Structure 1
Amino acid sequence: MATLLLVIIYLAFISLGLPDSLLGAAWPVMQSDLGVPLETAGFLFMMIAGGTIISSLVSGKVLKRFGTSKVTFVSVFMTAGALLGFQFAPSIAWLVLCAIPLGLGAGAVDTGLNDYVATNYKAHHMSWLHCFWGVGATLGPVIMAQFISEGTSWRNGYLTISGIQFALVLILLITLPLWKRVTHNNNNAASNEIMETNAVRHEENNELKPLQVKGVKLALASFLFYCGVEATMGLWGSSFLVNVKGLSAAAAAQWVSLYYAGITVGRFITGFITFKMTNRALIRSGQLIAAVGAIILFLPLPSIFSLVGFIIIGLGLAPIFPCMLHETPTHFGKKHSQSIMGYQMAVAYTGTTFLPPMLGFISSYFTIGIFPVCILIFAAAMLLSTENLNRLLYKKIIGKDTSLKA
């Protein structure tokens, strides 16, 4: 029963990934079709992510009142309807209106499912969960590129993705009774391991509010810059390849899909590597690999190396997000896990909201050629935040061991 529920959660994460990469892949064509400036994509992205931030912040109360199953069903339905609205959009104003439910539909379900898996399943399940997000994020540009290359409208791409979303809505509706039968009393052994590990280590956290727990702010900074890298790659990757490297819009969309494929394949592989490596080691390795990919984009190399850079960045990003999420109960205790998870998702989408549009704004005055520089800066800031968090937690453990010996 719990395994079947996990499959449903995986399917729900496909629906989360499908819309995330569409706007960036389609924007070179949408921009000319709608007759709007380049940086308008950044504004639409801000609207989508802004809705996600709001729903993430209130997700704790919403999930407790209505339950994860109903919230997931309604959220996927909202995103499916919003994507259908994109297909019929007569102007940019209509796209702005549709961006609101598209963002609101993602936040609460994202927080709820991440917390459920982080608390009740082992690390490899979290990596595979986000692998399914990558499946959706990879399929989005592939489908859009197919319609663009055939000379048909980008609107048909949004219509197709909307149809896939509605199919997932139907699956969620049929399986609603399953969620009622599976309760937290049926959690697997991973939940018990987390409780036992944190019972002593985080005892003092019970008296603190979530944001007062040591290390939380550094963790939030890590999520901010991670999403800055991931979202900036997705939103402006196609524009960089078209305007700087001279690729066609269809080819650029396909290359961006390979970036998401790198994330997807990397997370699938990471699920097996978690049996041999710790989350902390995987996070550090991924950040260094992503930085190498950004350096390749920065160097004046032939266009094909840009494809290599995109894939390397995708592979590097693969383990970072799921491993950081899975570490939440371990770092900060199970009691505050859901609240801190909500804050993390909100800050993550804050990075999605503001960092990519910032690049678009600056590029409108200079050039989209600054794209690799921004990616490298965001990756370095993420690495610095996580390393400081690791040092803080290490000092915290050493201090406790010393006090126990005394």
Structure 2
Amino acid sequence: MYSILLAIIYLAFISLGLPDSLVGSGWPVMHADLGVPVAFAGIITMIIAGGTIASSLASERLTRRLGAGLVTAVSVGLTALALIGFSVSDAFWMLCLWAIPYGVGAGAVDAALNNYVALHYAARHMNWLHSFWGVGASVSPFIMSYAITAGLGWTSAYRIVGLIQAVLTFVLIVSLPLWGKAAPVRTSEQSDRVTEGEGTGEANAAGSGGHVPLGQALRIRGVVAILIAFFAYCGLETTSILWASTYLVNGRGVDVATAAAFASLFVLGITGGRFLAGFFADRVGDRHLIRGGFIMLGIGVALIALPVPTPIPALVGLVIAGLGSAPIYPAIIHSTPVNFGRDNSQAIIGIQMAAAYLGSTLAPPLFGVISTWTGPWAFPVFLAALVALGLYSSEHLFRLVARERTVGSPAG
């Protein structure tokens, strides 16, 4: 049963990534068909981001009431409905309408699944699962490309992915009895924070205590620090994905084709790096993965910034930055029950998801504004600032946790 549920969760993570690239890959055709400016893509993504932030913050209460399995199934079903809605939309306002359940479903399933995996599975699975998210995000542009080149239209791509999500919803509903039978994982790191009296199963998926209000969660020592680190990392990731090619072309004189290829290697580095990290994550531990990831990111950014005539260091730096980025997100999530306790993990992971979406939403346009004043050379400087912020904040959390364990004081 453990293996069957794990396989279903792997499929769920692929499905999480599938819709994420559809708007970007299809928008050049979509905006023309709908008769709206190119810039209107930002409206869609902002609505989706708003929904994900709201549902992430509400996920703790929902998961405690309904259980992680049912929240995941309902959320994936909601996303499937929204994607089918996209596929029948012939006006921009309809996309805006369907973007609401799209975002709400994505945020709730992200928070519920990540917390469930953090509580019930080892660190290697968290890394591999997020690698599978990358697989889904990489596959969806090919689905969009096939639909457009085959003359089926962009709506068919949404229909295909929506049907895939609908099938997964059915599988998740059938698997609901399995979600309460998985025992929580116990690692050496967790032994200092997890009490022996805790139960197992679905009732424990969000902790055995009561609802943790937002204000109470934010007052837990170290929570603000890890939220800042998560905000910084996710802002760096999305800024790199969006602006790397522009920097290489306009700032370093790289030809467009080469710049696009190496910018994609940043994303492939994240996906491949998470797969590789899974093989040693349990031995290295989440803290070392976070610290090492930020340090490698810093090395990559330093190579990108090197003022040399050849662009080769910048190209290599992008690849290194992608590999450094790989373990940070899954390690932050997986370490949450260890750092803050099982009873608080669902609430805090929900807030972390909100911080992640906030960083992903705000950082790229912020750099866009900055670059209009300074020019493309500011790209590595902006990334370096985010690396420094993320590393400092995560190290501050580590010091708080170490001090807490030394004196034996409670987390609150």
Q: TM-score range by the shorter chain?
A: 0.7 to 0.9
For 1:36, the equivalent position in structure 2 comes to 37
Moved more, 298-307 or 341-350: 298-307
Q: Does residue 187 of the first structure (1) align with residue 188 of the second (2)?
A: no
Conserved 8 A contact 1:263-1:316: yes
| 1:199 match: secondary structure | coil
* 1: CA distance, partners of 2:159 / 2:49: 19
Matches of residues 301-312 of structure 1 in structure 2 within 5 Å?
306-312=314-320
Number of equivalent positions:
390
2:393 paired residue number: 385
Distance 1:167 1:253, change over 3 A: farther
Check 1:283–1:3 CA distance in 2 against 1; reply closer, same or farther (3 A cut). same
The match for 1:169 is 166
Amino acid at match of 1:36: P
Taking the aligned partners of 2:335 and 2:186, their CA distance within structure 1 comes to 13
RMSD: 3.5
TM-score by length of 2: 0.81
Q: How much has 1:134 moved relative to structure 2?
A: 1.6
Q: 1:354 aligns with which of 351, 362, 368?
A: 362
Tell me what 1:199 maps to: 195
Matched, 1:231 2:238: yes
Which residue is equivalent to 1:128?
128
Residue 314 of structure 1 deviates from its aligned partner by: 1.7
Deviations 1:125-155 (A, max 9, x none): 111111111211232445557788x6x8996
Larger helix share, 1 or 2: 1
1:9 match: 9
- Alpha-carbon deviation of 1:8? 0.9
User: Taking structure 1 as reference, are residues 5 and 390 closer, same or farther at Cα in structure 2, changes over 3 Å only?
Assistant: same
The answer to whether the 8 A contact 2:306-2:314 is kept is no
Q: Out of 265, 277, 281, which is 2:272 matched to?
A: 265
Cα 1:327/1:92, change in 2 over 3 Å: same
Corresponding residue of 1:276: 283
Mapped to 1, the partners of 2:30 and 2:248 lie a distance apart of 16
Which residue of structure 1 aligns with residue 205 of structure 2?
A: none
User: Contact between 2:77 and 2:169, CA under 8 Å: does it hold in 1?
Assistant: no
> Is this contact kept in 2: 1:238–1:253, CA < 8 A?
yes
C-alpha displacement at 1:347, in angstroms? 1.5
Alpha carbons of 1:56 and 1:367: their partners in 2 closer, same or farther (altered >3 Å)?
A: same
Structure 2 Cα separation of the partners of residues 84 and 374 of structure 1: 38
- Tell me how far apart the structure 2 counterparts of residues 240 and 78 of structure 1 sit (CA, whole Å): 38
More relative contact order in 1 or in 2 (CA 8 Å, sep 6+)? 1
Alpha-carbon displacement from aligned partner over 1:229-272 (angstroms, at most 9, x marks no partner): 12222334455566665655x87665544322211111111111
Q: Distance in 2 between matches of 1:107 and 1:132?
A: 17
Look up the match of 2:206.
Answer: none
Aligned partners of 1:293 and 1:310 also within 8 Å: yes
Distance 1:88 1:241 in 2: 38
Deviates more, 1:26-35 or 1:349-358: 26-35
**1:315 alignment partner, one of 320, 323, 332:** 323
Aligned to 1:210: 217
1:282/1:349 CA distance change after superposition, 3 Å: same
Change (3 A) 1:282 1:227: same
Partner of 1:203: none
AA in 1 matched with 2:345? S
The answer as to 2:105 corresponding to 1:109 is no
Distance 1:196 1:255 in 2: 43
The verdict on how the C-alpha distance between 1:327 and 1:181 changes in structure 2, with shifts beyond 3 A counting, is closer
Please list every run of 5 or more consecutive structure 1 residues that lacks an aligned counterpart in the other structure.
201-205, 402-406
- C-alpha separation in 2, matches of 1:296 and 1:386: 23
Matched AA of 2:47: M
The amino acid across from 2:225 in the alignment is L
Residue deviations 1:88-147 (CA, integer Å, cap 9, x gap): 665654544343222212111111111111111111111111111121123244555778
| Amino acid in structure 1 at the alignment position of 2:37 | V
Give the distance between the partners of 1:47 and 1:195, measured in 2 at CA. Answer: 41
8 Å Cα contact 1:141-1:256 kept in structure 2: no
Describe how 1:20-99 pairs up with structure 2 within 5 A: 20-24=20-24, 36=37, 40-84=40-84, 86=86, 93-99=93-99
For residue 178 of structure 1, the aligned residue among 167, 172, 175 is 175
Partner of 2:138: 138
* Counterpart residue type for residue 106 of structure 2: A
Q: 1:89 and 1:251, CA in 2 relative to 1: closer, same or farther beyond 3 A?
A: farther
Sequence identity (%): 42
Whole-angstrom distance in 2 between the partners of 1:100 and 1:338: 23
Q: Higher mean Cα deviation, 15-24 or 127-136?
A: 15-24
CA contact (8 A) 1:142 1:257 kept: no
Alpha-carbon distance change, 172 to 251 in structure 1, aligned in 2, over 3 angstroms: farther
Provide the rounded CA distance (Å) in 1 between the counterparts of 2:124 and 2:4.
17
User: CA deviation digits over 1:264-309, x for unaligned, max 9?
Assistant: 1111111111233121111111111122222333345656655433
Q: Distance in 2 between matches of 1:335 and 1:222?
A: 22
